[in-house]
Amino acid sequence: MTDRLTILLLTKNEAGNIGPLIAGIKRELQSAQPVFLVMDASSDSTAQEAEQAGATVISDPSPYGVALTRGLREADSEWVMVLDADGSHRPQDALKLWQARDEADLVVGSRFVAGGGSEVRGFRLWLSRRLAWLFSTLASLPARDVSSGFRLYRRALFADASPQARFFNVQPELLAHAALKGARVKEVGIYYAPRGQGKSKARVLRFGLAFLRSLWAIRRRLKARSST
């Protein structure tokens, strides 16, 4: 079967990173024969590089969260794997997520469980840990690394997700969607490397506030569910 797995990549100026990433995943996931879908918001040659590597490219200038939700709808395979296209997420970990899918509806690649780690230290790691702590204290989500963008989704349970989140705060919102649907969630350790070419698009203040807004909305939704 060739349409079992779609690799969904969100890109904003990842020329130099996207080609080697697709080649690496093809190698590691050879037996799954994945198809590649790229939601591209770039002004560089990312789209051409992705097409040359064999991906279908949809040009969409939307922010990350909006593009991710659209990608989950556009893919039509049983499973959709999403990972960053900047070299931070490694093809060998993609195989780990794929192999963990039995009896799961969502597999989350996590820096904060056994076998996981991060080469990126300092403020960004501190912030991810604080977010993980805040969400686990104030909203009981089914994974610890709430902001991780490395995931394998059983599409049938997520194609109808319509999170309000526009940025990276879409990650905890999709975990809340999983919780509300009773989806089975597994976390597996992944190693987070520094990005390859180019610059991060994260904006700490803007995205931090968006995460806090999501936290409150998620708390309300999960509480309303548990009191019914």
Ligand X SMILES: Nc1nc2c(ncn2[C@@H]2O[C@H](COP(=O)(O)OP(=O)(O)O)[C@@H](O)[C@H]2O)c(=O)[nH]1
Q: Residue 88, interface with Mg ion (CB under 5 A)?
A: yes
**Closer Cβ to ligand X, 104 or 165, answer by number:** 165
In the complex, least distance from residue 197 CB atom to Mg ion, rounded to whole angstroms = 11
**Closer Cβ to Mg ion, 116 or 139, answer by number:** 116
Whether 94 and 28 have beta carbons less than 8 Å apart is answered as yes
Phi and psi dihedrals of 133, rounded to 5?
A: -65, -45
Tokens of 225: 């569910």
**Closer Cβ to Mg ion, 42 or 88, answer by number:** 88
Q: DSSP alpha helices (H): ranges in the chain?
A: 18-28, 46-52, 64-74, 91-99, 123-138, 170-181, 204-226
Whether 50 and 21 have beta carbons less than 8 Å apart is answered as no
Q: Residue 201, interface with Mg ion (CB under 5 A)?
A: no
Whether 172 and 91 have beta carbons less than 8 Å apart is answered as no
Q: Please give the residue ranges that form the binding site for ligand X (CB under 6 A).
A: 10-12, 14, 39, 41, 63-64, 67, 84-86, 88, 195, 200-202
The window from 53-61, 88-96, 129-137, 215-223 that contacts Mg ion (CB under 5 A) reads: 88-96
Torsion angle (degrees, nearest 10) of CA 132, 138, 139, 142:
40
Give how many residues touch Mg ion by CB under 5 A: 4
**Closer Cβ to ligand X, 85 or 179, answer by number:** 85
In the complex, least distance from residue 111 CB atom to Mg ion, rounded to whole angstroms = 13
Binding interface with Mg ion (CB under 5 A): 84, 86, 88, 195
